[in-house]
Each structure stands twice: as C-alpha cells, then as structure tokens.
Amino acid sequence: MGMTNEQKPFPQQTSQEEAGIHTDFKNRMTYGEYLKLDQILTAQERLSNHHDEMLFLIIHQVSELWMKLILHETYAAIASIKANDLLSSFKRLARVSKTQSQIIQAWDVLSTLTPTEYMEFREQLGQASGFQSYQYRLIEFALGHKTGAILKIYEKDKELHERLVEAYHAPSLYDVSIQALANAGLAVDQHVIERDFSKPYVANDSVREAWLTVYRHVDRYWNLYQLGEKLVDIEDWLQQWRFRHMKTVERIIGFKVGTGGSSGVNYLKSVLEQRFFPELWDLRTEI
C-alpha cells in the first residue's frame, strides 16, 4: 500500500519554484538554530504540576522579549535625537508604540487564568514578582521616571546592578527631546538642560512655552511637533498597559498583597498617576 497524505514526508511539489526548497541542512544553519529554539522552548520549567502555570510562564517570558525590543528601539531613538536626526527617531518610536500594543494584548490571554487556578501554584513563586522586572525598570528610566530606592532589588547581580545605575543617571528620552527644543532655538531654562538626570523630572514653564510654540506653529516646527506626538503615543500606550495590568491582577487575586511584597492592586493604581511628559499633556488644555 502507498503512503497516506499524513504519512508523506514532504508535500508534493506543484510548481517549478517549489523545486528549489532546501531540504538538506547537514551543513547549513536551520531556522531553529538561528532562533536558538532549543533554548527558548525549553525555558518554560514549571515549579508545579498545574496545567495553567505554563500560561503564566509564557505570558511573562514573551512580555520580557517585547520589552527587550522596546528598550532596543528607545535607546536607538535617544541616540538619533541626540544626533539631531529626528526623522530616524520617528521610525524607532513608532515601533515602540506598536510593540506596546502587543504587550497590552497579552493581558487578555493572562486574564483567562481564574483565581482558583492561580492559587494552585502561586506559592511556588515565592517572592518572585513582575515588580522585580529589571527591563521594566530600564524602560521607566529611559522614559524619565527615576526611582533610586528600586535599585536595591538588583544588588544580587553586580553586572545588572551596574547597568541599572548607569541607566538611572543617563538622560531620558524626554531629556534629549527637551534638548532638541533648545537646539531649535526655543528658549529653555539652562538649569533644565544641565539638571541631574537621576532626579525625577519636574514640569517647567520654559519647556511648556517651548512646546506650546511648537504646537501653535506646526509648519515651522513640523519635526518637533511629530516628536511631541510620538512621545504622547508612548506614554498613552504605557498607561494603557499599566491599566490592563492592574485590572488583570484585580481579576485574578483581588486586593491580596503581591508576591513581591507590594500592595498589589493598590500599588498598580497609584502608578497610573505617574506622568512622564507632563507639558505635552498640559498643553492640550491651553491650545
């Protein structure tokens, strides 16, 4: 008897183009090798035997990969703005926003986890928590929200701690954007340009007036106007991500204390009040 369709090792070639499909990879790099799938797909080691822990692991691992891309693009955008190459920064920042939309949608998948299911393996997590995500902290630092106390969490890993300290003292995306305003001849207080970048940014009247000028004279400052809107996109998506995070946590554990020791939902609600680019939001009332 001949082989059934299910048994055939390779689909029948139906065109001349398909005749060129490579099948011999003894001495060539494969798709799996390029992506290191042997490492990625074996990284989901459950600490319990509960079926739904796999969902919990994958959602958080995928989110960390998306955050890696966000950092990659944000750092590139910062470098472009520093070099007065605003056009290149727009592509990077647009990609950040699209990536943020993917992370937001991940909460829809995690929300299929019920309270009963999560409690079956929650104790296995110990004190491990998304609160400790160092990439999330790097994103906050890159956007300008600097919290020195958080650095203590990462002292266990000297190399990682040094990376976070460096990011903590570096100018943020908003800092270099303010510098771009000054480079365009708009009046910005010098102490804002020369400030200590490890300190949280405080809204400044000269920066507000500079952005107002940009938004009132769009034709003259088109690139800065575009930059401002790209920043608003990013903060908007970030806050939507935070909101979905908060509601997903509330849906699954209610108002329990987080595994990392935070107040859980109450903490997540409080961070919704944080602002990254205040003048860009305030000017909407004044325009």
Judge whether 216 and 75 are in contact, CB under 8 Å.
no
Structure token digits, residue 15: 């065109």
Residue 221: Cβ within 10 Å count: 21
Is 259 annotated for ligand binding? yes
99 is in an annotated binding site: no
User: Is residue 250 classed exposed, middle or buried when 0-12, 13-18 and 19+ CB atoms within 10 A define those classes?
Assistant: middle
Q: Which residue has the tokens 């090792």?
A: 9
Residue 148 exposed, middle or buried by CB count within 10 Å (0-12, 13-18, 19+): exposed
DSSP sequence for 177-226: HHHHHHHTT----HHHHTS-TTSPP---HHHHHHHHHHHH-TTTTHHHHH
Length of the chain: 287
Known binding residue 122? Answer is yes
The DSSP result for 236-258, as a single string, is: HHHHHHHHHHHHHHHHHHTTPPP
Q: Which residue has the tokens 């299910």?
A: 6
* Residue 204 in tokens: 């400044």
Instruction: Name the binding residues for substrate.
Output: 118, 122, 259
Binding-site residues sit at 118, 122, 245, 259
Residue stretches of the annotated binding site for heme: 245
